[in-house]
Structure 1
Amino acid sequence: MISVHRLLARNTIASFLRHFINLGILFYLTPFTIAAIGDLQYGLWAVVLTVAGYSGLLDMGITTATTKLAAEYRSKGELDELNELITSSISLFTLFGAACLVAIMLFMPRYIASIDHGALGSESPLAISALIGIDILFVFVANIFTGIILSFHQFHMKSLIDITLGVLKLIATIVVLNAGYGLLGLAVVKLSVSVLSTIALYMVFKRQMPTHKLRLRMPAPAQMKRLINLGGKLFYMTLAIRLVDKTSPIIIVSTIGTIWNAYNSVVNRLATYGNEIVYSTTAAFMPVFSELYAQDDDGTARGLYLQYTRYVIALSMPIFFGVMVLGPDFVGVWIDPVYKEKGGAALRFLAGSFAIVGLQPLLGRLVIGRGDVGFYTKTMTIGLVLNILLSIPACYLGGITALAALSTVASLCFFSIFTVYLSRSFHISITDQLLRCYLKLAPPIAVFLLAFFLIDDRLPSNSYADVFLKAAILVAAYVPVAFVTMLSANERSRIWRMVVLRGRQAG
């Protein structure tokens, strides 16, 4: 049986590769899409996706709860309960997807028409809405298959599917936009990718559960109770997160104009992608924590938390700080200098916000894995609701830069609260967190920033080559210091032995 460390390494690397490759696809498609359809239509498309994204509120935390409970049932050998859980989840989410389809068909065409301002041209709001609505139905079903296969630690298969479909999406988007299909073409591509994803995920699911008969029927009361009990607690937090994410574009469009939503969408996407890489690569830990707590092995869970928090922040901080210091220059080359001018300051604040969140990369995985989510979800919900309420005056007063600064303040508050929470509820002392994770990070980050200030004025930033050269220099300065300070002597020795062994094998 594969060890927990090998399992985590395999799944984490697979998830990282998935996001890294899709990041490259995003970097190419974003400027291509903007050039093909224009700033105004791109801003409209971003708003359409935002409104459609509200359908995710019906998830109610059930996808995450399904993964947690499926891992728990599997670790205990409770296969009947696992089968009931799967049937209940799929039936429930099919119903949710159908409800979203109906709602979108009724309301989205009018909303698109109300904010169009000539961006759509001859394209039909009804056709775009229908495609988006059907897409959401498939996304709901795919989410449950994803939740189940992840409970079986099949992150590498999920990554393979997403990478393959990401490449297909790249090709299809180029074809349809070059053919002049605009937003309608984008909607067709989005739906096609979702259908293929659902089929592929189902095939992986059947490999893990070959005897399970897929059918829609009334959810089992016992499983519904457990799903709603855990998922309901996660729902308020998920609701608040989605509201912050999905409400910001609407606030921007309503207060300072649609074009500013295009600027914000680009810088927010770049900053968010770093956070998504970390979030995705840590997903493998939740089912592991769930299995450990199901077996009452709290000590191993705490040890894994501290050990891998140190590893993850050592690997992820160059991403966040790189976006913070080089992101505006990259946006100027990637999209247009106007986007750098209008969104550069906001990008730095957003990158700082996600860097703070990234200091506790396994927090949510640990909390959900144990199933005791009350304080965590209440704190997140209250903080995020306050963020939404403050977003409107912030946008009026300081535009998208003020919105991003508000996000940074919220992240600092969350970090402080949850540092204490980990100590009191999980017996992970503040001293251990500081000494074993955060203070070890100070030297490499100081070297990283010092290197940036030394080279920034000396090297230009007029091309991809210029920006990537700067990034390479900063990483080269960071890595050796991080290797010494973030790893123990035994860990460094193991890495050297592994490198030497692989070198001999290659020779």
Structure 2
Amino acid sequence: MSNLSVAKRMFLNTLSNYGLLLFNMISMIILVRVQFTGLSRQDYGFWGLLWTIFGYSLLLDFGLGTAVQKYASQVTVNKNWDRFNRLVSTVFFSYWFISLIIIAATVIISFFIEPISKLEPGSDVDYYRKVFLLFGFGTALIFPVGFSPGLLRGIQLIWLRNNIDAVFAVINLIVMVWLIKSGYGLWEMTIATVLNHVGSKIVMLIYAFIKLENMKIGFRFFSPSMIKEVMGFSIFVYLIICSKLIIFKTDNLVISASIGVAFVAYYQVASKLGDVFRSFAMQFNDNLGPVASVMHTSGDLDSLGRMQLYSSRVIAFISTMMLVPLVVFVGPLFETWLDLTRTESQICAVILLVSQYFYVVMRSSSIQILLMCDRQKELAIVSVIECLANLLISVILVRMMGIIGVAIGTLVPNIFFGCVYNVPTACRFAKVSPLYFLRYSVLGSLMTGLVIGAVTLFLKDTVYHLIVSGVLNIAADKDAGMIARYFAEHSGILKLLALVFLSALSCGMYMILFYAIGIKKQERTDLNKLVADFFNKKLKGSS
């Protein structure tokens, strides 16, 4: 496959990722409102508790889903179907064993559902226990087919996986809204949720069988000897996942234990902004693992090195474009969104955004590629050490600097291990010097970002206030129109719309400037061809 065709597939997959992400956010906003207003506070809280408890069942995956993705990528190159079928069948039946663990845990926890959920006096405890059992058994039923998205991702059909997810997400939204509006409760919502998730995973599995024509899953292929080989990879993936979970999720515990739970709220909003940034910035990364696995398996190390440079450059472009408006408008955003004016929350948000930016740009692509190139052991060691360093620095600094110290505790190990391990390793893979890597992958985006950042700061100090004060002044006129009067009464919405408009303007200016000065002539030509081919295909499909 040529570099241009690989780039085209990655481009389409990334667009598909962003489309699904946008739809899921809109769907979440609608669904949360319908559930929050249509259910009792106890039912809504219990529904959230179910997702929290069974969300931890994902840790029982033990990295097997990532292993399946790797094997699917490899078999498209080496055609070793016998080994692949034994590996996938071993994973599949291992998942059934894990499902039995989930069922046993569900039954045990169900006996303690009343003290765990602290139901109101007079509540029907048996009803909530039955809902809990149904949700747990449903989770166990979903688990064995939960690796099917990894199969599609492994053979670089991310767009197909996203299309299936989107269809079932639409069905879920319609059914959930109908159930709640019709007066149904948690029991019916749980049945609909389980059927929806099982259905989507089975459809993905069917497509995987179609695309991987020689794939077979059966108990006769189950191989106990394969468990050791699979776990030899997946257990290190599991350590990496757990380490990242600790890094991103334990800050609140450190703050609560050290300076009080009240300060968690101020840190939480800052970390949420960083989480949203990381989620949006890393959609391109979904492509890297499968492509890297194919190149590594085929021995095309030169292409793998070029892919390392190319992916880092694309990720730097996307991340810098998003970072600029978030950093500049963090103050007005917090004030408008949450009526929060605490300086320490804003400082934490900037520190965590910079930390996430460094991770996404300088580390995330190399982690994806190294993972598919059998470097999982050293990645796991680095992740565990970073996790411990993060925890230690946060505990020390939280008493000296409050929540800002916890944010610094996240930033410092991230930058240190990125500079000591990830960047040098990425350079060795790409066979370039660190200076060339930074100049090629990051410098163009960073310089463009600094210029647009200065322009955006000017927009914040002038245009933003001009828009808000201008509309409010118009609304003060007794002859003002209905829209102006609405914004006068809801100035928060006006400010939020102004921020969205100026952020979009900032991103637009960034893309134009980067297109003009941030890429070479040949890259501009390739990009034009890529975009033209995409829209020509869309036009032909609609005619």
405, 419, 436: which one aligns with 1:432: 436
Equivalent of residue 103 in structure 2, options 85, 101, 120:
101
Q: Which moved more, 1:301-310 or 1:322-331?
A: 322-331
* 1:58 corresponds to 2:60: yes
Q: Write out per-residue CA displacement over residues 23-81 of structure 1, whole angstroms, 9 at most, x where no aligned residue.
A: 33334445665666799987876665444333222222221122112211331111111
Q: Bigger CA drift: 303-312 or 352-361?
A: 352-361
Alpha-carbon spacing, 1:244–1:113, altered in 2? closer, same or farther (3 Å): farther
2:136 paired residue number: 133
5 Å-filtered alignment, 1:143-162, equals 143-162=146-165
Structure 2 equivalent of residue 307 of structure 1:
310
Q: Distance in 2 between matches of 1:341 and 1:30?
A: 30
Tell me the distance in 2 between the aligned counterparts of 1:241 and 1:396: 24
Deviations 1:412-470 (A, max 9, x none): 22322211232356634212211101221222211232123212233148324222111
Name the structure 2 match of 1:420: 424
User: 2:445 aligns to what?
Assistant: 441
Q: Does 1:453 align with 2:449?
A: no
- The alignment covers a number of residue pairs equal to 506
Could you tell me which amino acid in structure 2 is paired with residue 71 of structure 1? S
What CA distance in whole angstroms lies between the structure 2 residues aligned with 1:340 and 1:117? 35
Aligned partners of 1:76 and 1:493: how far apart in 2?
Answer: 34
Aligned match of 1:354: 356
- Which of 25, 28, 31 lines up with 2:27 in the alignment? 25
| Residue in 1 that maps onto 2:499 | 467
Structure 1 residue 481: deviation in Å? 2.0
User: In the alignment, is residue 371 of structure 1 matched against residue 395 of structure 2?
Assistant: no
Q: CA deviation at 1:114?
A: 3.8
Residues 288, 369 of structure 1: 8 Å contact kept: no
5 Å-filtered alignment, 1:239-258, equals: 239-245=242-248, 247=250
- Which amino acid is 2:442 matched to? Y
Match of 2:285 in 1: 282
* Corresponding residue for residue 476 of structure 2: none
Instruction: Give ranges in structure 1 of 5+ residues lacking alignment.
Output: none
Seen in structure 2, the aligned counterparts of structure 1 residues 129 and 428 have a Cα distance that, compared at 3 Å, is farther
Q: 189-198 vs 290-299, which deviates more?
A: 189-198
Summarize the Cα distance change of 1:192–1:329 in structure 2 as closer, same or farther, 3 Å threshold.
farther
| Residues 251, 44 of structure 1: alpha-carbon distance in 2 compared, 3 angstrom cutoff | farther
Paired AA for residue 456 in structure 1: K
8 Å CA contact retained: 1:14, 1:159: yes
Distance (whole Å) between structure 2 residues aligned to residue 116 and residue 390 of structure 1: 36
CA–CA separation in structure 1 for the residues paired with 2:345 and 2:39: 20
Q: Is the 8 A contact 1:55 1:100 kept in 2?
A: yes
Residues 48, 112 of structure 1: 8 Å contact kept? no
Q: Which has the higher contact order (CA 8 A, sep 6+)?
A: 1
State the partner residue of 2:481. none
Q: AA paired with 1:292? A: M
Taking structure 2 as the reference length, the TM-score comes to 0.79
Q: 1:305 to 1:89 in 2, by over 3 A?
A: same
How far apart, CA to CA, are the structure 2 residues paired with 1:139 and 1:164?
Answer: 18
Task: Give the stretch that moved more between structures: 91-100 or 2-11.
Answer: 2-11
Residue type of the partner of 2:386? G
Separation (CA, whole Å) in 2 of partners of 1:339 and 1:140:
44
- Cα deviation for residue 152 of structure 1 reads 1.7
Task: Give yes or no for contact 1:325–1:348 (8 Å, CA) kept in 2.
Answer: no
Counterpart residue number, 2:484 = none
Q: Which residue of 1 aligns with 2:515?
A: 483
Displacement after TM superposition at 1:227 (Å): 1.1
SS at match of 2:11: helix
- Which amino acid counterpart does residue 456 of structure 2 have in structure 1? F
User: Counterpart amino acid of 1:414?
Assistant: F
Residues 282 and 315 in structure 2, CA contact (< 8 A), matched pair in contact too: no
Cα distance in 2, alignment partners of residues 265 and 173 from structure 1: 29
Distance change in 2, residues 1:219/1:345 (3 Å): farther
Distance 1:406 1:30, change over 3 A: farther
RMSD, matched Cα? 4.0
Describe the superposition over 1:146-170 as per-residue Cα deviations: whole angstroms up to 9, x where unpaired. 2222222211111102222333333
Contact kept, 8 Å, 1:41 with 1:119, in 2: the verdict is no
Residue 201 (structure 2) pairs with residue 169 (structure 1): no
Give the C-alpha shift of residue 144 in structure 1. Answer: 1.4
State the distance in 2 between where 1:324 and 1:111 align: 43
Distance 1:27 1:345 in 2: 28
1:268–1:350 CA contact under 8 A, matched in 2: yes
Rg (Cα) greater in structure: 2
Residue range with higher mean Cα deviation, 445-454 or 299-308: 445-454
Distance in 2 between the 1:183 and 1:250 partners?
A: 31
Q: 1: CA distance between counterparts of 2:401 and 2:436?
A: 39
Alpha-carbon contact 1:146-1:201 (below 8 Å) kept: yes
- Following the alignment from structure 2 to structure 1, what is the Cα–Cα distance between the partners of residues 164 and 534? 29
Aligned counterpart, 1:67? 69
Which amino acid in the other structure matches residue 133 of structure 2? A
Q: Which amino acid aligns with 2:360?
A: G
Amino acid at match of 2:157: Q
Equivalent pair of 2:325/2:456 in contact (CA under 8 Å): no
- Stretch of structure 1 that moved more, 238-247 or 311-320: 238-247
> Is 1:236–2:239 an aligned residue pair?
yes
**3-state SS, counterpart of residue 370 of structure 1:** coil
- Matching of residues 268-279 of structure 1 within 5 Å: 268-279=271-282
Q: Measure how far apart 1:338 and its partner are.
A: 5.6
Match of 1:15 in 2: 17
Q: 1:118 to 1:429 in 2, by over 3 A?
A: farther
- Name the CA distance, whole Å, in 2 between partners of 1:202 and 1:383: 36
Query: Higher mean Cα deviation, 323-332 or 61-70?
Result: 323-332
SS of the aligned residue for 1:371 comes to coil
Read off the aligned partner of 1:129 and give its amino acid letter: F
Q: Tell me how far 1:289 sits from its aligned partner.
A: 1.1
Alignment CA distance shift 1:403-1:34 (3 Å):
farther
Superposed CA offset, 1:291-339 (max 9, x none): 11112211110011102211222123222443344456456656x4369
**How many Å separate the matches in 2 of 1:43 and 1:407?**
31
AA aligned to 2:453 is L
Give SS of 1:416's match: helix
Q: Which amino acid aligns with 2:356?
A: F
CA distance in 1 between partners of 2:384 and 2:267 (Å): 24
